Amino acid sequence: MHQKKKSEGQPNIVNNLIRFSGLGGETNTFGGIAKKGCIILIYSFVAMSVFPIIYVYLYSNSGKQKYGCSSVEDCLTKYEFEGARYFDNNGLGKSKISLAEAVFLVGNEEYERAMNVINESDVSEEKLNKNKYIIVSAVIERLILKNNIDEALLWVSRICNICNIEGKTKKDVISYYGIGREGNENKKIEDYWDESKTMDKVLTEKILKAKTTKK
């Protein structure tokens, strides 16, 4: 059986690729260009990997120097709310930060400022309603302790009067649980919604109960 001899004129593809890439012992113009290209790509990759780390470090260090805290949680424990917003890069903690600041202000009896912080927070309507309820409840608690019942009753008007304490309206509840949709015939709104448990009614009942107790 005769072995096929490789034609002397036939290019050795593997060797050419090695030579072209600059990885072999011999180099030519194309190999040099390819090698430089590989080096540039490596440096680019390293730069893309390292620069974000450097940026985060510098950003964090700058915030720490300015606010005296190093993260959202760290800033909140130090009541440094602007610092917390600085470190909340993706905005996921904005509701938490606004609520924490508002609670702090209520503790200092700065009720109107607390409500302004909540009203100016960039959150969903449902979350806004819930946060308002939390703050108004806290204000009413303090007013009841001081026996300012009439003022406490006025604060009830600052919340959603068609929402439950989770911030949902009746329409929201129907949509959330799919009431009335095909396949949900057994779901009844009465199982998920109680007209006597809207925010305003819950707080009004609480105030009147406290008024009766204090007599």
pLDDT at 116: 97
Contact 123, 131 (CB under 8 A): yes
Could you give the CA distance from residue 72 to residue 156 in angstroms, rounded to a whole number? 32
Number of domains in the chain: 1
* Short-list 191, 79, 199, 214, CA closest to 144: 214
pLDDT at 18: 43
First to last CA, the chain: 118
- Other C-beta atoms lying within 10 Å of the C-beta of residue 34: 18
- Other C-beta atoms lying within 10 Å of the C-beta of residue 49: 9
Instruction: Kindly give the parts of the chain with pLDDT less than 70.
Output: 1-63, 214-215
The reply to whether 79 falls in a domain is no
Question: Rounded to the nearest 5 degrees, what angle is found at the Cα of 193, between the Cα atoms of 187 and 197?
Answer: 165
Cα distances (angstroms) measured from residue 51 to each of 26, 88, 187? 35, 20, 54
The reply to whether 157 falls in a domain is yes
pLDDT at 61: 59
Both tokens of 158, joined, read 């600052």
The reply to whether 64 falls in a domain is no
- 140 alpha-carbon distance from chain centroid: 29
The reply to whether 9 falls in a domain is no
Could you give the CA distance from residue 97 to residue 117 in angstroms, rounded to a whole number? 10
The reply to whether 56 falls in a domain is no
The reply to whether 200 falls in a domain is yes
Domain boundaries, position 157: 124-215
The reply to whether 174 falls in a domain is yes
pLDDT at 62: 67
The reply to whether 165 falls in a domain is yes
